[in-house]
């Protein structure tokens, strides 16, 4: 299975934050409750304070401490009072410990922290930021898409330090982006030809995040009206209302721009369908929804920009065969009509690694519809997989039923493989031995030596691959001391 081109999407509702890491999620929740208790809703009072001239910076620093030094996760409703060297921003890109953060360029007393998404592009600038050590120590990850509190800002050199992170609305992994509102599944009708099973895989992966999904089909000018019409009714029967467009002719692009307006969208789809072309079109100032500002110049080149560019086409990890920096370095690009789009180079094959046999059904609108139409009636079995079990509500008279079957099978095989590879007990690995006094004792079945060695090797390899994934994921937790680029950048500071 290629992790390299995999697309693992996961959405976490705030309430279910960090499901796989319950301890951490508790800490986050506790932190945020504590943060709220410390910061009762006296927003208007604080606004007044912000407008008042700040005469005693030292005293002010005491107040700021709550938001930066103690470092709880900030609630999304928090409006921390900002000093002149602080701002609230959006992480647009990351490489190891360095992040590009978009902040309002107005002095903090005039800029609204809520207004970043809406503020005109000319009023935004980019800062090159390190993540504060304390955040790394408590393993608080900063992701692209995060709303962050930046401090120690040098407005001339455009540097800052990320001091705190606001709570996330959502989080998807691979591409790792926080606060995503919307997924755009983008395919072409021709060149490459629309392939229903491939489309289904992308839709399933997108649906598995729980986020709203839009399906758009490009290159309409390459097919005739009949083909368009038949795809339209076919996709409607799947539960989707597809948008048809042609980046080449411009047809449908304004509607798409309108759909994406003021949202953070992740675009996914196979290569060659026109994703980059669409992103360019949506970013161009000729776009009808554009606010007319000069988007191409909305950020000025800053130290480090080159670093990001060159990493794009960077080295390829020999072990996983994946271009480490080509696939992982997702960045948020501002759209001329407002909002952001995550550019996801190299995410071509949904791996469905986060979809389980049980959760798969919920990623098919057809099944969701059948289940809800029959409510309160339910399938006879609680954990029904809807594969024709007796008393199953889901009938088989829909086009993608065969794909559903096929995917259940694929996921079943993967789940079994995972159980075996990662050492979870399975009946066949255990044998029973009659011990002293006739008591049966269970112990691991010993495999022939050669085979065992092979299997260890395989397990080690899997662990190494996993570890490598982790390292990639935790790029931004790396220590500055061990990264030559970061060291060099740091040494530049006085
Ligand atoms: P990506 O791999 O999904 O990012 O696709 P690209 O944006 O690189 O586009 C792949 C090819 O499709 C390029 O040659 C584009 O010029 C072409 N292309 C993009 N949009 C359209 C379209 O609407 N119609 C046609 N005929 N070609 C298109
Ligand atoms: Zn069922």
User: Tokens 């598995």 map to which residue?
Assistant: 208
186 Cα nearest atom in ligand 1: 3
> In this model, does residue 122 exceed pLDDT 80?
no
Which pair of structure tokens corresponds to residue 108?
A: 């903090």
Q: What are the helix and strand counts (H, E) for the chain?
A: 15, 17
Residue 90 token pair: 């959006």
Binned at pLDDT 50, 70 and 90, residue 226 comes out as very high
Distance (Å) from CA 281 to ligand 1 centroid: 11
> Mean per-residue pLDDT for 55-76?
51
66-104 pLDDT, tens per residue? Answer: 444 344 578 888 888 999 999 999 999 988 778 999 999
* pLDDT for 406 beyond 70: yes
Per-residue pLDDT at 138? 76
Kindly report, residue by residue over 328-353, the tens digit of the pLDDT.
578 899 998 889 999 776 566 788 88
What is the Cα–Cα distance from 215 to 244, expressed in whole angstroms?
A: 9
Residue 392 vs residues 209, 307, 357, 398, 486: alpha-carbon distances, Å: 26, 56, 16, 15, 58
Q: Which residue did the predictor score with more confidence, 394 or 120? A: 394
Q: How far is the CA of 427 from the centre of ligand 2 (A)?
A: 27
Separation of CA 385 and ligand 2 centre (Å)? 6
Distance CA 51, CA 134 (A): 30
Best of 249, 277, 326 to mutate for ligand 1, by most ligand atoms within 8 A of CB?
Answer: 277
What per-residue confidence (pLDDT) applies to 233?
A: 98
Say how far apart CA 336 and CA 140 lie, in whole Å. Answer: 32
Q: Which ligand is nearest to the CA of 371?
A: 2
**With bands split at pLDDT 50, 70 and 90, how would you rate the model's confidence at 240?**
very high
Q: Look-up: residue for tokens 């949506």?
A: 282
Nearest-atom index, ligand 1, CA of 279? 7
Question: Would you say residue 3 has pLDDT above 50?
Answer: no
What is the per-residue pLDDT across 416-425, written as a single tens digit (0 to 9) for each? 888 887 755 3
The rounded percent of the chain whose pLDDT value lies above 90 is 45
Flag whether pLDDT at 31 surpasses 60: no
Ligand nearest, relative to CA of residue 218: 1
Tell me the ligand closest to 185's alpha carbon: 1
| Distance separating alpha carbons of residues 217 and 232, to the nearest angstrom | 10
% of residues, the chain, pLDDT over 70: 58
Q: What is the pLDDT of residue 88?
A: 95
Q: Return the pLDDT at 345.
A: 66
List the single range of 141-145, 233-237, 254-258, 437-441 with lowest mean pLDDT: 437-441
Instruction: Tell how far the Cα of 170 is from the centroid of ligand 1, in angstroms.
Output: 30
- pLDDT bin (cut points 50, 70, 90) of residue 286 is low
Closest by CA position to 86, among listed 166, 142, 161: 161
Q: Whose CA is nearest to atom 6 of ligand 1?
A: 274
pLDDT higher than 70, residue 60: no
- Tell which residue, 356, 471, 350, has the closest CA to residue 418: 356
Classify residue 462 as exposed, middle or buried by CB count within 10 Å of its CB (0-12, 13-18, 19+). Answer: middle
In this prediction, residues 202-208 reach a mean pLDDT of: 95
Find the 333 Cα to ligand 1 centroid distance in Å: 19
Mutate to test the pocket of ligand 1, among 218, 247, 269, 274 (most ligand atoms within 8 A of CB): 274
What is the residue with the minimal CA distance to atom 9 of ligand 1? 274
CA angle 212, 213, 218 (to 5 degrees): 150
Measure 390 CA to ligand 2 centroid, in angstroms: 8
Q: How confident is the model at residue 121 (pLDDT cuts 50, 70, 90)?
A: low
Q: What is the pLDDT of residue 343?
A: 75
Is the per-residue pLDDT at 276 higher than 50? yes
**Mean of per-residue pLDDT scores for the chain:** 71
Determine the average pLDDT of the residues in 384-391. Answer: 94
What is the position in ligand 1's atom list of the atom closest to the CA of 280? 7
Q: What is the pTM of this model?
A: 0.69
pLDDT (tens digit per residue) in 141-199 = 899 999 999 999 999 999 999 999 999 999 987 788 999 999 999 999 999 999 999 99
Phi and psi, residue 444, nearest 5°: -65, 140
What residues are in contact with ligand 1 under a 6 Å CB criterion? 218-219, 221-222, 246-248, 271-277
CB 282, CB 245: distance < 8 Å: no
pLDDT digits (tens, 9 = 90+) for 431-475: 434 434 443 444 444 443 333 444 444 544 544 454 344 444 444
Q: Give the Å distance between the CA of 389 and the centre of ligand 2.
A: 7
Q: Residue 374 forms beta bridges with which residues?
A: none
Q: Given the CA of residue 220, which atom of ligand 1 is nearest to it?
A: 23
- In the chain, the N- to C-terminal Cα span, in Å, equals 48
> Can you give the pLDDT at residue 133?
84
Q: How many CB atoms lie within 10 A of CB 264?
A: 23
Q: Whose CA is nearest to atom 18 of ligand 1?
A: 274
Q: Is the pLDDT of residue 323 over 70?
A: no
């Amino acid at each position: 299975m290629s992790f390299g081109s995999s697309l693992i999407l996961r959405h976490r509702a705030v309430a279910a934050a960090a499901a796989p890491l319950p301890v951490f999620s508790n800490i986050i929740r506790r932190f945020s409750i504590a943060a709220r208790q410390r910061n009762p809703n006296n927003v208007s009072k604080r606004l007044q304070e912000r407008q008042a001239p700040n005469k005693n910076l030292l005293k002010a620093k005491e107040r700021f401490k709550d938001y930066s030094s103690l470092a709880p996760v900030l609630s999304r409703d928090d409006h921390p009072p900002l000093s002149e060297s602080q701002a609230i921003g959006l992480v647009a890109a990351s490489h190891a410990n360095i992040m590009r953060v978009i902040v309002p360029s107005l002095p903090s007393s005039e800029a609204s922290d809520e207004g970043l998404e809406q503020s005109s592009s000319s009023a935004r600038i980019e800062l090159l930021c390190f993540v504060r050590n304390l955040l790394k120590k408590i393993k608080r990850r900063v992701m692209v898409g995060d709303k962050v509190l930046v401090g120690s800002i040098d407005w001339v050199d455009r540097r800052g330090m990320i001091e705190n992170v606001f709570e996330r609305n959502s989080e998807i992994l691979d591409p790792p982006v926080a606060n995503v509102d919307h997924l755009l599944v983008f395919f072409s009708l021709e060149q490459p030809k629309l392939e229903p099973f491939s489309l289904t895989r992308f839709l399933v992966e997108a649906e598995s995040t729980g986020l709203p999904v839009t399906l758009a089909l490009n290159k309409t000018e390459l097919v005739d009206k009949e083909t368009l019409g038949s795809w339209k009714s076919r996709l409607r029967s799947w539960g989707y209302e597809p948008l048809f467009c042609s980046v080449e002719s411009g047809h449908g692009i304004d509607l798409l721009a309108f759909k994406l307006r003021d949202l953070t969208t992740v675009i996914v789809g196979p290569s060659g369908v026109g994703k980059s072309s669409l992103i360019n079109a949506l970013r161009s100032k000729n776009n009808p929804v554009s606010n007319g500002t000069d988007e191409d110049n909305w950020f000025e080149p800053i130290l480090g920009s080159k670093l990001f560019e060159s990493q794009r086409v960077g080295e390829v990890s020999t072990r996983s065969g994946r271009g480490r920096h080509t696939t992982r370095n997702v960045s948020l690009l501002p759209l001329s009509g407002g909002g952001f789009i995550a550019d996801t180079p190299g995410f071509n094959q949904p791996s469905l690694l986060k979809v389980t046999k049980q959760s798969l059904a919920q990623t098919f609108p057809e099944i969701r519809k059948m289940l809800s139409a029959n409510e309160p009636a339910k399938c006879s079995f609680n954990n029904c997989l809807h594969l024709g079990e007796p008393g199953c509500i889901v009938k088989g008279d829909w086009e993608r039923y065969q794909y559903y079957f096929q995917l259940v099978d694929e996921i079943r095989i993967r789940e079994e493989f995972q159980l075996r590879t990662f050492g979870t007990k399975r009946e066949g690995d255990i044998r029973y031995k009659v011990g002293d006094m006739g008591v049966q004792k269970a112990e691991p079945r010993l495999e022939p030596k050669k085979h065992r060695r092979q299997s260890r090797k395989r397990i080690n390899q899997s662990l190494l691959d996993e570890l490598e994934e982790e390292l990639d994921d935790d790029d931004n937790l790396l220590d500055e001391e061990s990264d030559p680029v970061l060291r060099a950048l740091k040494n530049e500071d006085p």
